[in-house]
């Protein structure tokens, strides 16, 4: 179309040349390509992350190059919008350029086509004898043709056509692109961008209560289109949403307020979530009266005043929590009240700390690996096993609910924080119960878990007593003596060095008390030659175990309780206590916060959008589908029948020359020509001709 | 099924009657469980099936056969999933998983027979290959129908149409690609194309086997809330008509490129025929891909808060769409033919594959249901 060389000899005026360029096929194709490539960027680079993350990921140098190019929010940059605008322009000009001709073509009959021009058509046939006129017209009507008859100079010629929608399809499909772009533009943030450029509005970058955000970062409820998020705790209400804007955010006022009455999560038996739903009230902004109530679910938004409310996320909305605060230094406990999603001051061993509580999670459903039947040793052949498992669509899962957990951080005065994940319910392992606490020093790391054994009453108190006894140097002499006495009573050691044994015991206890098993190991590494280390370590371990038994007994006596017999259960308890005590050395501040209760307050995250362009976009979409269908699946056909001097000439053209046209022509020829004369075959179609459709 | 069977009014009437009777039985038995929308959809489906049967008479036998197999499986299950492991017919033939395995075997055999037929110019081998493909397609559709039912046997709240994860849609991909190919094969009386088209199906089958044996992906999982929408039922299949068609076009493009270099030229259909089938596949694929993307946008407007979020999956769908829009423009408007378009359709399949699989594997976003 535009690839043809212009026949003009003088250079085209600039405007004309620009029109030629923008409405050209080549420009359109290039635009589609550039648009595709630009779109790829935004899928490879994660969009709309906080800017610090990008700086961290790419380093300062690339960050300074990427940021002004808008690569962190490609689809809203001015250059991307410009590309879309060009696509719209190109499509509009293409329509402008071709539609008038097309409409003329659709309306025209081409009834004046002469004999010679009909004969030039690729599909034509002639025969002696004139076809029956009534029969011709009946056939045309039956085949869905509209026609016009022309009679002059003893020539009777009928020009017929059908399938005008084929060309209209072109119009629909291309108009659809323009309509969709307009709809998208209506929903885009162009007006806001312009106001930002003009300096009327600027995003807020500071973290502050919403009410204090200045007017320049607030958008009124009359804003035509927006898409923002807000999190509402149960029982609370919100009348604004927050719009992401690059480095900061805008506060968008709503024409109403949303109050979250309750948030629900339902689960399948397999532990996967089944339903997220928020029961909400819509309140009048001024009076606070309830205008309407309803439930918002995923896939079931609620529309109020043209604003659609979606269930977007959920979380903890600040639940009252109670802890038992165990002081790991002296083994005492005191109650502590806190609230999730909040921070409070805490003094630990005389040092100021901040307790930053995170999420309360009421359900922790974990897949604990394969079930016993799946691990059975009978199926040796791996392939057979895979085959037998592939036979059933129902999987076996070993799921367990670990119960509620609280995540929190303890931050010291220098800003260093240790993060904890503590479970409320005792967790069973081989028929014994433990309290589980997880600890990590960096967010990127997984939690390291410590299991504290529970006594027969299901309490952690006994462990805490043992823990304290093992760490209190004042008790070591007594423990060491008792350990030595017990060892020599059993006759396990020769009687000569009882005092020396007590001294070694005290030393082992001191090492263990200064850092657990790792300290003991360091001590061995430093003092004992490598070849003897194994044997000495064994002995030390035995001595430590013996000392632990005595420490346990002593702790019980001090608490006014009878020492427990060293049966299998209690011995295991003691060994678990040793391990837990050792692990607690690397636990950060010497405090264990045992969750003891909570009142769950959930929060629901809503997305609110107002998009007036939606209907326009859908209209465009319908046009697009109709257009594509008409373009591909309706064939525009024209058929001429010419009766002249005892001969019949028929000719046919179509928008697309292919096998289908050959079939159709053969059928018409058989029906219309009096006696098909052999030899009047359609000419073979010329190779690689354009199908004759405009852009 | 060498050529399209001539219009046999008896078959068409019997099929129409069968569909109407089935719709009436469903309506009378389950009307209580359906709202007005669903009742409307039921009859619209019946009308659609009747139309489809007229449009492609082979469906007048294929669809009732698949339905009969599914009903037999349901009858044998007798509302008890455990019977799948104990009943002989179920275990080796009619559970969805056995049907999938049969489908895999049949597709592999069909591929082999197409290649034997192509290399030895054996019409009978090609005819057997075509029959095997039909059998594989039957196993595929039946397996999906049975699987649909099995979901409800696991739990009334677990059952759903099997198009919700990568495993299920791969079976759907095999089915749709095979059926579209069989249609073109009959229409253009060009069976040797199957050697190429079945390669891409075999690749999908290989993936299904790996995914099932190694990852246990065949387990039916309940739907997460975001997928609980009736849009899923139409969005996903429409998309796979697109993917299947683009895959066919690419494989025929490959055949075209070989023919242009004189390889297999005497055995394959003519260069122009390959090009024309390729074009027809892209045209139908483009139409359905457009519809699927629009349906996806409408679903997104219900689920994610906006019809377009520039999510990686959406963006890649747009890229695929732009790619084929450009392909169609240069063919229809510029009149391009030949190797450039053939290369383009091959590359187009790579782009499509990335949009289908790569996005789920490498990019994160809202559309993370089909992750590996």
Q: From the candidates A394, A614, A621, which should be mutated to test the interface with B, based on the most B CB atoms within 10 A?
A: A394
- Alpha-carbon torsion angle A332, A335, A339, A340, nearest 10: 40
Mean pLDDT by 10 residues, chain A (695 residues): 45 80 84 87 79 80 83 81 88 90 89 89 90 91 92 90 88 93 85 86 86 90 90 93 85 95 88 90 93 94 93 89 90 90 88 91 75 48 69 76 91 92 91 92 89 91 91 89 81 68 87 89 86 86 89 89 87 92 90 93 92 93 95 91 90 83 90 63 41 37
Beta-carbon neighbour count of residue B297 at 10 Å? 22
Query: Number of A:B CB contacts under 8 A?
Result: 163
Q: Are the Cβ atoms of A390 and B221 closer than 8 angstroms?
A: no
Q: Chain B closest CA to A146's CA: distance in Å?
A: 25
Q: Are the Cβ atoms of B222 and A272 closer than 8 angstroms?
A: yes
For A609, which of B284, B305, B363 is closest by C-beta distance? B305
Give the per-residue pLDDT at B339: 93
Q: Which residues of B touch A313 (CB under 8 A)?
A: none
Q: Are the Cβ atoms of A390 and B283 closer than 8 angstroms?
A: no
For B226, which of A39, A299, A614 is closest by C-beta distance? A299
Q: What are phi and psi of B105, to 5 degrees?
A: -60, -45
Give the per-residue pLDDT at B249: 97
> What does pLDDT average to over chain B?
92
- Alpha-carbon torsion angle A168, A173, A179, A181, nearest 10: -160
Q: Chain A closest CA to B195's CA: distance in Å?
A: 24
Give the per-residue pLDDT at A496: 63
ipTM score assigned to the predicted complex: 0.91
Q: What are phi and psi of A237, to 5 degrees?
A: -135, 155
Give the per-residue pLDDT at B4: 44
User: Are A176 and A94 within 8 A, CB to CB?
Assistant: no
Give the per-residue pLDDT at B3: 41
Q: Chain B closest CA to A43's CA: distance in Å?
A: 5
- Give the pLDDT confidence of B228-261 residue by residue, as tens digits: 998 999 999 999 999 999 999 999 999 999 999 9
Cα–Cα distance for residue pair B338/B326, rounded to 1 Å: 15
Confidence band of B365 (pLDDT split at 50, 70, 90): low
Average of per-residue pLDDT across B273-296: 95
Q: Chain B closest CA to A602's CA: distance in Å?
A: 18
Q: What are phi and psi of B26, to 5 degrees?
A: -60, -40
Beta bridge partners of A242: A229, A251
Q: Which residues of A touch B221 (CB under 8 A)?
A: 270, 272
Q: Which residues of A touch B303 (CB under 8 A)?
A: 298-299, 310
CA angle A531–A534–A536, rounded 5-degree value = 100
Contacts of B344 (CB under 8 A, 6+ apart): B253, B327
Q: Are the Cβ atoms of B220 and A393 closer than 8 angstroms?
A: yes
Q: Chain A closest CA to B21's CA: distance in Å?
A: 31
Nearest residue in A to B280, CA atom? A632
**In this model, does residue B143 exceed pLDDT 90?**
yes
Q: Chain B closest CA to A166's CA: distance in Å?
A: 13
Q: Are the Cβ atoms of A611 and B304 closer than 8 angstroms?
A: no
Q: Which residues of B touch A690 (CB under 8 A)?
A: 333-335
Give the per-residue pLDDT at A370: 54
Nearest residue in B to A383, CA atom? B213
Q: Chain B closest CA to A476's CA: distance in Å?
A: 56
Helix-helix angle A568-584:A498-527, to 10 degrees: 50
- Give the pLDDT confidence of B293-315 residue by residue, as tens digits: 999 999 999 888 889 888 888 99
- Give the pLDDT confidence of B171-191 residue by residue, as tens digits: 999 999 999 999 999 999 999
Q: Are the Cβ atoms of B220 and A691 closer than 8 angstroms?
A: no
**In this model, does residue B368 exceed pLDDT 70?**
no
Residue-wise burial string across A232-248, b where 16 or more C-beta atoms lie within 10 A, e elsewhere: bbbeebbbbbbbbbeeb
User: Are A35 and B307 within 8 A, CB to CB?
Assistant: no
In chain B, the largest separation of any two C-alpha atoms, in whole Å, equals 63
Q: Which residues of B touch A399 (CB under 8 A)?
A: none
Cα–Cα distance for residue pair B80/B345, rounded to 1 Å: 47
Q: What is the C-alpha radius of gyration for chain A, rounded to an integer number of angstroms?
A: 42
Confidence band of B128 (pLDDT split at 50, 70, 90): very high
- Give the pLDDT confidence of B42-99 residue by residue, as tens digits: 999 999 999 999 999 999 999 999 999 999 999 999 999 999 888 999 999 999 999 9
Q: Which residues of A touch B82 (CB under 8 A)?
A: none
Q: Are the Cβ atoms of B310 and A47 closer than 8 angstroms?
A: yes
Contacts of A319 (CB under 8 A, 6+ apart): A339, A340, A360, A598, A599, A600, A601
Q: Are the Cβ atoms of A393 and B150 closer than 8 angstroms?
A: yes
CB-side neighbour CA atoms (13 Å) of B347: 11
With helix as H, strand as E and coil as C, how does B139-152 read? HHHHHHHHHHHHHH
For B225, which of A39, A74, A276 is closest by C-beta distance? A276
């Amino acid at each position: 179309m535009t690839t043809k060389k212009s026949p003009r000899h003088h250079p085209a005026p600039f405007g004309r040349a620009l029109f030629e360029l923008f409405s050209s096929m080549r420009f359109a194709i290039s635009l589609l390509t550039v648009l595709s490539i630009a779109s790829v960027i935004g899928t490879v680079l994660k969009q709309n992350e906080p800017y610090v993350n990008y700086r961290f990921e790419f380093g300062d140098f690339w960050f300074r190059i990427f940021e002004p190019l808008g690569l962190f929010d490609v689809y809203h940059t001015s250059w991307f919008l410009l590309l879309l605008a060009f696509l719209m322009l190109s499509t509009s000009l293409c329509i402008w350029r071709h539609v008038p001709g097309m409409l003329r073509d659709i309306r025209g009959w081409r009834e004046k086509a002469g004999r010679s021009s009909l004969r030039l058509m690729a599909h034509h046939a002639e025969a002696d004898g004139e076809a029956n006129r009534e029969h011709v017209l009946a056939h045309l009507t039956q085949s869905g043709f509209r026609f016009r008859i022309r009679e002059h100079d003893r020539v009777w010629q009928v020009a017929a056509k059908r399938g005008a929608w084929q060309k209209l399809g072109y119009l629909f499909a291309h108009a659809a692109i323009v309509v969709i772009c307009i709809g998208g533009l209506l929903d885009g943030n162009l007006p806001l961008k312009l106001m930002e450029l003009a300096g009327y509005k600027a995003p807020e970058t500071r973290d502050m209560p919403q009410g204090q955000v200045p007017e320049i970062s607030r958008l009124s409820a009359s804003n035509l289109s927006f898409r923002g998020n807000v999190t509402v705790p149960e029982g609370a209400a919100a009348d604004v949403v927050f719009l992401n804007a690059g480095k900061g955010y805008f506060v968008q006022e709503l024409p109403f307020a949303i109050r979250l009455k309750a948030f629900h999560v339902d689960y399948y038996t397999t532990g996967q979530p089944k339903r997220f739903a928020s029961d909400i009230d819509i309140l009048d902004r001024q009076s606070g009266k309830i205008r309407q109530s309803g439930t918002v679910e995923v896939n079931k938004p609620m529309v109020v005043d043209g604003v659609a409310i979606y269930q977007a996320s959920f979380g903890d909305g600040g639940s009252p929590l109670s802890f038992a605060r165990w002081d790991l230094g002296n083994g005492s406990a005191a109650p502590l009240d806190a609230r999730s999603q909040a921070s409070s001051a805490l003094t630990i061993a005389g040092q100021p700390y901040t307790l930053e509580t995170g999420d309360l999670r009421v359900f922790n459903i974990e897949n604990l690996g394969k079930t016993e039947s799946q691990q059975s040793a009978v199926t040796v052949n791996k392939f057979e096993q895979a085959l037998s498992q592939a036979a059933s669509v129902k999987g076996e899962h070993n799921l367990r609910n670990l119960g509620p957990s609280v995540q929190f951080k303890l931050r010291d005065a220098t800003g260093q924080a240790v993060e904890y994940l503590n479970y409320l319910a005792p967790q069973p392992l081989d028929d014994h119960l433990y309290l589980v606490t997880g600890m990590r020093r960096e967010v990127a790391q997984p939690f390291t878990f410590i299991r504290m054994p529970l006594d027969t009453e299901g309490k952690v108190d006994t462990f805490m007593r043992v823990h304290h006894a093992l760490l209190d140097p004042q008790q070591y002499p007594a423990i060491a003596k008792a350990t030595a006495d017990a060892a020599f009573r059993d006759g396990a050691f020769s009687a000569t060095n009882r005092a020396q044994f007590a001294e070694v015991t005290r030393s082992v206890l001191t090492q263990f008390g200064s850092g657990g098993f790792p300290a003991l190991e360091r001590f061995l590494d430093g003092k004992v030659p490598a070849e003897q280390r194994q044997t000495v370590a064994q002995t030390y371990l035995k001595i430590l175990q013996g000392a632990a038994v005595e420490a346990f007994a002593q702790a019980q006596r001090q608490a006014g309780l009878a020492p427990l017999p060293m049966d299998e259960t209690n011995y295991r308890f003691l060994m678990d206590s040793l391990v837990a005590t050792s692990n607690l050395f690397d636990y950060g501040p010497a405090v264990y916060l045992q969750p003891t209760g909570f009142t769950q307050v959930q929060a629901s995250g809503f997305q609110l959008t107002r998009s007036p362009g939606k209907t326009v976009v859908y209209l465009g979409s319908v046009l697009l589908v109709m257009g594509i269908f008409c373009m591909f699946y309706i064939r525009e056909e024209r058929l001429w029948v010419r009766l002249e001097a005892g001969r019949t000439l028929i000719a046919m053209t179509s928008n697309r020359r292919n096998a289908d046209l050959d079939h159709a022509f053969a059928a018409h020829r058989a029906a219309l020509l009096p006696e098909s004369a052999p030899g009047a075959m359609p000419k073979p179609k010329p190779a690689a001709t354009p199908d004759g459709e405009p852009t | 099924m060498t050529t399209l069977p001539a219009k046999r009014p008896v078959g068409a009437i019997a099929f129409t009657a069968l569909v109407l009777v089935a719709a009436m039985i469903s309506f009378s038995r389950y009307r209580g469980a359906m709202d007005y929308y669903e009742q409307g959809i039921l009859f619209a489906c019946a009308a659609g099936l009747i139309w489809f049967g007229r449009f492609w008479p082979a469906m007048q036998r294929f669809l009732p056969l698949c339905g009969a197999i599914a009903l037999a499986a349901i009858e044998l299950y007798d509302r008890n999933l455990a019977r799948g492991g104990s009943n002989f017919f179920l275990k080796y033939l009619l559970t969805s998983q056995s049907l999938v395995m049969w489908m895999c075997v049949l597709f592999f055999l069909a591929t082999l027979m197409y290649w034997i037929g192509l290399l030895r110019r054996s019409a009978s081998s090609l005819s057997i290959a075509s029959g095997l493909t039909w059998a594989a397609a039957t196993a595929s559709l039946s397996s999906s129908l049975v699987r649909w039912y099995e979901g409800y046997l696991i739990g009334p709240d677990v059952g759903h149409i099997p198009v919700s994860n990568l495993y299920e849609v791969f079976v759907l991909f095999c089915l749709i690609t095979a059926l579209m190919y069989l249609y073109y094969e009959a229409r253009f009386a060009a069976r040797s194309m199957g050697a190429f088209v079945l390669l891409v199906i075999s690749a999908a089958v290989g993936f299904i086997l790996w995914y099932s044996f190694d990852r246990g992906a065949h387990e039916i999982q309940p739907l997460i809330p975001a997928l609980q929408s009736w849009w899923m039922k139409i969005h996903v299949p429409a998309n796979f008509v697109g993917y299947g068609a683009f895959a066919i076009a690419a494989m025929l493009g490959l055949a075209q490129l070989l023919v242009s270099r004189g390889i297999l030229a005497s055995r394959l259909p003519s260069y122009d025929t390959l090009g024309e089938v390729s074009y027809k596949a892209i045209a139908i694929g483009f139409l359905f891909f457009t519809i699927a993307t629009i349906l996806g946008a409408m679903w997104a407007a219900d689920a994610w808060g906006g019809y377009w979020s520039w999510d990686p999956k959406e963006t890649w769908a747009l890229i695929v769409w732009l790619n084929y829009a450009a392909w169609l423009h240069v063919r229809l408007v510029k009149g391009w033919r030949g190797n450039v378009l053939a290369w383009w359709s091959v590359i187009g399949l790579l782009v499509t594959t990335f949009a289908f699989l790569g996005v789920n594997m490498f990019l994160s976003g809202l559309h993370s249901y089909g992750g590996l």
